[in-house]
Amino acid sequence: MTTQIKDKEAFQRLNFLYQAAHCVLAQNPENVELARFYCHTERMISKRLVLRQDPSVKRTICKKCSSLLISGVTSTVRQKKLRGQRKTVVKCLTCGLTNRFLSNPNYKLWCEQPEALLENQPKTDQDKNPVHQKKLSKEKGSSVKVTDEKKQVS
């Protein structure tokens, strides 16, 4: 079974811009402005087309100045213990914005949890309602047998 990805060309364009920003900084670390332009263009395209980017990509782009956050080149990365928890602190060298990420190896993002998948969502009461099932069967043109099983409590 093949699944079609909506806006496949747009995701390819976003991927190209992200990779281009990395290549520009890898060749010459002084080309920060060109990398910022690529990342800013990528963010604007994803906002305009309402496309969700992977959290690993979003965490490597500064939310304030759209700079690509590469450790030692455009950002500093430190491990700190704040309020009893270890956190990774990423500071953008262009604008000074700091991001704090929890350093818990057992932590999972919402998109990685099984409850986030649509297939694992519980059925609604409307789908279990026999009247609704009869309406659906009439719309589909097939018959669905609805039986009521009563359990006796002893």
49 or 154, higher pLDDT? 49
CB 98 within 8 A of CB 89: yes
pLDDT for the residue 119? 74
Asked if residue 35 has pLDDT above 80, the reply is: yes
Whether the CA torsion 119, 120, 121, 123 is positive or negative: it is positive
Distance of CA 39 to the CA centre of its chain: 17
Residue 44, both tokens: 């604007």
CB 60 within 8 A of CB 43: no
pLDDT for the residue 144? 46
Cα 152 from Cα 38, distance rounded (Å): 68
Please choose, from the candidates 75, 64, 59, the residue with its C-alpha nearest in 3D space to the C-alpha of residue 25.
Answer: 75
Cα 72 from Cα 144, distance rounded (Å): 64
Tell me: the pLDDT tens digits for 38-72? 999 999 999 999 998 888 899 999 999 999 999 99
- Identify the band that residue 107 occupies on the pLDDT scale cut at 50, 70 and 90: confident
Mean pLDDT, residues 107-135 taken together: 69
Averaged pLDDT of the chain: 81
Mean pLDDT, residues 110-121 taken together: 77
What predicted TM-score, i.e. pTM, was given to this entire model? Answer: 0.67
pLDDT for the residue 154? 41
116's CB contacts (< 8 A; 6+ apart) are 110
Cα 52 from Cα 115, distance rounded (Å): 18
133 or 98, higher pLDDT? 98
pLDDT for the residue 150? 47
Tell me: the pLDDT tens digits for 70-84? 999 999 999 998 788
